[in-house]
Structures are given as C-alpha cells and as structure tokens.
Chain A
Amino acid sequence: MTLTRRDVENIAHLARLGIEEQELPVYAGSLSRIIEFVEQLASASTDDVEPMAHPLEDQVQRLRVDEPTETDHRERYQQNAPQVEAGLYIVPKVIE
C-alpha cells in the first residue's frame, strides 16, 4: 500500500494534526513503508482465532458503587489551562 500526499492530508485531518506542506511527501514515504511492513501480518493464518484485547485472561472490568469520590479541584487544574475566565476554559468562538 502506497500512501499519497492526499492520503496523508486526509489522515492528518482525521487526527487533527497540522502538517507543514513540505512535510507531506516525507510522511507519505515513511507511512507507506510502515504500512508495507505491517502488511506481513496478512501471511499469518488466523482463521478461527479470537482477537486478543487484553493481555491477561479472566480479568473483568471492576465496578464500583456510583458515589462521588473526588472533591472539586477545578482551580488547581485550571492553572495548567492556556486560557480560562470565570472558571471556564476559553476557546475561539464556535457558533456565530
């Protein structure tokens, strides 16, 4: 599978990644090599094989009682935010 410059643009858009114009062909080249490399998986016979989603068998997702366990740390957490106002995270206007 060879990825084109256009493919890279599409993938980058899906991943919300800004890629510089001159970098597009570079990524097209390296991503094509990676996809080509992983395509050797097709050679493995996996009929009737269950996909493995978790490294440990017999593990079940733990449940907990639906009660609040956390206290409010908003002010502390927002110290890392690029822009806040009155406790709200500020982003560019979404709806005109």
Chain B
Amino acid sequence: MSLHLKSAAELGRGLAAGEYSSVELTRHFLGRIGQGNGRLNAFITVTGERALDQARRADAAIGAGRGGPLTGVPLAHKDIFCTDGILTTCGSRMLSNFVSPYDATVVERLAAAGTVMLGKTNMDEFAMGSSNETSYYGPVRNPWDEACVPGGSSGGSAAAVAARLAPAATGTDTGGSIRQPAALTGLTGIKPTYGRVSRYGMIAFASSLDQGGVLAQSAEDAALLLEAMAGFDSRDSTCVDAPVPAYATQLDRPVKGLRIGIIREFFGEGLDPATGDAVQAALDAYRRMGAELVEVSLPALPLSVPTYYVVAPAECSSNLSRFDGVRFGHRCRDPKDLLDLYTRSRGEGFGTEVKRRIMTGTYVLSAGYYDAYYLKAQKVRSLINADFKRAFADVDVLMGPTSPTPAFRIGAKVDDPITMYLNDIYTIGANLAGLPALSAPCGMVGGLPVGLQLIGPHFAEARILAAAHAYQRESDWHRRVPPAWA
C-alpha cells in the first residue's frame, strides 16, 4: 500500500518497525504537496527544510529506541497556530508579514511527541467562515470535487488530509471549524472540551468558544494526536488542570448498552434529505451493535446560531483590537496621524467578513444595546447549556448530522452572510456549552462525504472517540480517498 494511504497510527507503527524512515516519509508527503497544492491551495506555507530536520531527528530517536507512537509522523498545522521563526498569517493580510517569535503549545507538544511539521494550512481569515472563501490567500478546493468548498474555517487542513497531502492536521473550532470541514471532506475531526487543549499561541477569535483539535483519517488517529496535544498549560489561564486520559488505549470500549440520544431538533427543516438518510443509516448501525437509541429534545438549541452571532462577534471585536499597526502586522503607508494609522491599517489589513464581525460585535456591545443583545445572548446560552445538561442526565452521547448539506459549490453562499452562518447550525451548540464533539464520515451523497456528529458531556472525549472507533470497525467510509488523490 502506498505510504500516503496509511493512517497516522499505521505510519507510526511502520516507522517503529523500521519499514521506512521518517525522512523517506517526509519526502513522500512533501512531493505530494509539491504536485497537488497548486490545485487545492491547501497550504499557505510549506516548511520543507524544517520538516526534513525534524525527520532526521525522529529517525535518530527511533534508532536509539526513544520513539513514541507518533515519532516521525508528518503533520500539517493550521496557520492559526504560532510557529517559531515561520510565517503565521491566520489567513489574513493583517498578518501576511508576521513571523512568529514563539511556538504555540500545541505545536510545541506535537513536536515533542516527535511529529514532523510539513507546513501551515490555509484557513478562513481569523477562522471566520465556513467555506475557506474568506482567506486572503484564496479559497481552498475540496479534493472530492474541486468546484466545491472544503468547509471552514480549517479548510486547508481538511483538504490536505483528505487528499493525503498530510496524514493528519491540527485545526481549531469556535463554531464548527473542525467538525464541518471534517464532514465535508470525509475525515474524523474532534473538538475537545473547552479548556482541554491550551490556547497559548493559538490566535484568538472568540475566547470563550475557541478550542484546538485534530482533523484525521480515523478515530484512532484523532485519539493519538489529541493525547499528545492536550493537557494543562500555565500559559493559558482557561486551560483545565486535569490529567489527560490515554485516549488511544480506551478505543475498544464496547458500544453495547451505550445510551445514544438522537437530537430531534437536528432532523427538521433545512436538513438535506439524503444527508439525513446517511446519518439515519449510521444510527441504525449503532442499534445493531447493541446501543440503545432514544429521541431527545433540546428546545433552546435552535437559538444557537443567533446566540453565537452575538457572542462570537462581541469577543472578536475585543480580541482583534490588538491589531493596530503599531507592534506587528500590517501598517498602512504614510499615516497622517495616529487615528489614520489605526483606521487605515485595520481597514486594509482585514477582509470583508472580519470587518463585518468586528462591526457586529462593536454594535452589540455598544452603550444602549448591550442588554438587548449581549446580555440576552449570554442568558440564552445558559438555556442551551441547561438543555445539554438535562439530556446528559439520561444519555451517554448525543448524535445527529454535523452539517445540513454536503459540500457546496465555491461562490454559492458568499453573497449572504446568514445563509453562510446557517452551515454551522448543528455544530455551534457544543461550542456554546463547551462540550467535546466529533464528526466521523458516515456516507456519501452525490460523490460527496457526509458526517455523523457525536457530542459528549464535558471531558468525555474518550467516550466519543471509542464510539466513533466502534463504528469505524463496522464501516469503511473513513477509508475512502478521493479517486483523483488515491
């Protein structure tokens, strides 16, 4: 089997067994990126030299018997993670000249686990988008159909892994930015519990929602990578100080007796019928494996999109005020005074969607409107959280579709922000409540992948990974590769 068709876990085992070296593997993937990236636009920066350096060190570690399960395995990092000495753009003109002076904790930990960084992946600007079309570096194409979007905001990571330009990639998820692209490209993507993974060096969008995670070929790969990147970090004040379970060793937990709640609100109007059928078939498979399926209702959940579009822009307007053209990032030419420096640097540096969200956030936080919008949204957020809490008193895991439709065509939704925002209708709830959630491939519609979403209670990553793994032992959707990239 060609090297790029192997999962990260398989590659780790092959490296440990000496079947190939990390340098060979790294060259193989760098070659694929060289050939394929022109078509997909999945990478903003390719870090070939650094990758080969890391690969040589990994080979030495394996040779000395100091290798772990990921030593020598190549990866791609979303360009939202700061990487020491390497361009870190966040998909924005604002940071198109920013060479980070430090590594994000996620990058540092995955490097310490022996992984090799192939490059930095394209993304929606400042992670604001669901199609990767807001990137300053241009849209990313979906390897399953290059006329379609890969989803977003972690669209470059999704396309890179789907086309097997990288065995796995990091991503971030504020409202669905790991799960929705994973669904649209046939990958397994996990957003852990809020606070599980350090946000240090992960460029902030909406700090009460942002969380780092993984886009991978299988639940097993996601478990291995999450284990390596999760855990306490004193440099992120919201990072939770709790031990990280050995996710990869808990994958064989049985599904028999698992109580699965089917979210009624996720199967209503707006769900593409064929997508719904694919999700239903996966639920039937769980029933055959011995799980118990019950319908649950989360009545406040339909308000998650409007809640999000108050909370997230409010937090973004505050976070993005740091980009002022003074200390780093884009500065306009010949500013005539300080106000001109701020307004023109920001006006030129940010794209349309980012400006729209900063202005939405500024408006909902402004005097006279704060109570009606921001405070109200935070109260509705409590209602949504209470709905989840009630549901988890009765069931072990919640399931439903990840996205209402398969991948759509590039350009199809760019003119109307509301239509674009509704792509995240099933994913936002988990962010508002800080819950771990995963998308796993469960079918194909018209040649495009469909994702099944699994949501767990706080810190139940091991449970949702094991549930996805059990399904992946019974199905082969996660093994499918776009024919043009096999």
Contacts and interface: CB of A to CB of B under 8 A. Distances in A.
A72 to B, nearest CB: 12
Interface residues of B, number: 74
Nearest to B235: A69
17 contacts: A12-B343, A17-B350, A18-B343, A27-B355, A31-B363, A33-B417, A39-B306, A41-B306, A44-B300, A52-B382, A54-B434, A55-B431, A55-B434, A89-B326, A92-B340, A92-B341, A93-B337
Given A53-B208, A80-B99, A46 B380 contact: yes
B101 A80 contact: yes
Interface stretch (B20-28, B38-46, B328-336, B466-474): B328-336
A41 B310 contact: yes
Interface stretch (B112-120, B165-173, B370-378): B370-378
Between A11, A18, A39, A81, the greatest number of chain B beta carbons within 10 A of the residue's beta carbon is seen for A18
B378 A73 contact: no
A44 B434 CA distance: 21
A17 B418 contact: no
Given A18-B348, A44-B303, A35 B101 contact: no
B326 A81 contact: yes
Given A14-B362, A41-B306, A50-B382, 6 more contacts: A15-B362, A31-B359, A33-B417, A34-B356, A44-B376, A80-B329
Nearest to B430: A55
A37 B325 CA distance: 33
B153 interface: no
Please indicate which of the listed interface residues B359, B383, B418 has the most CB atoms of chain A within 10 Å of its own CB. Answer: B359
Interface string A24-62: 000100110111011111101010011111111001011
Interface string B305-321: 11101100000010001
A79 interface: yes
Nearest to B337: A92
B208 A35 contact: no
Interface of B: 97-99, 101, 193-195, 208-209, 234, 237-238, 240-241, 300, 303, 305-307, 309-310, 317, 321, 324-329, 331, 335-344, 346-348, 350, 355-356, 358-360, 362-364, 366, 372-373, 375-383, 385, 416-418, 421, 431-434, 458
Contact of A52 (B99, B237, B326, B378): B378
A82 interface: yes
A49 to B, nearest CB: 4
The 8 closest A-B CB pairs, nearest first, are A55-B434, A18-B347, A51-B378, A82-B331, A80-B328, A46-B379, A18-B343, A52-B382
B386 to A, nearest CB: 9
Given A34-B360, A41-B306, A16 B342 contact: yes
Contacts of A53: 208, 378
Contacts of A62: 234, 237, 241
B208 A34 contact: no
B381 A52 contact: yes
Contacts of A50: 379, 382
A82 B237 CA distance: 30
B335 A92 contact: yes
B134 to A, nearest CB: 13
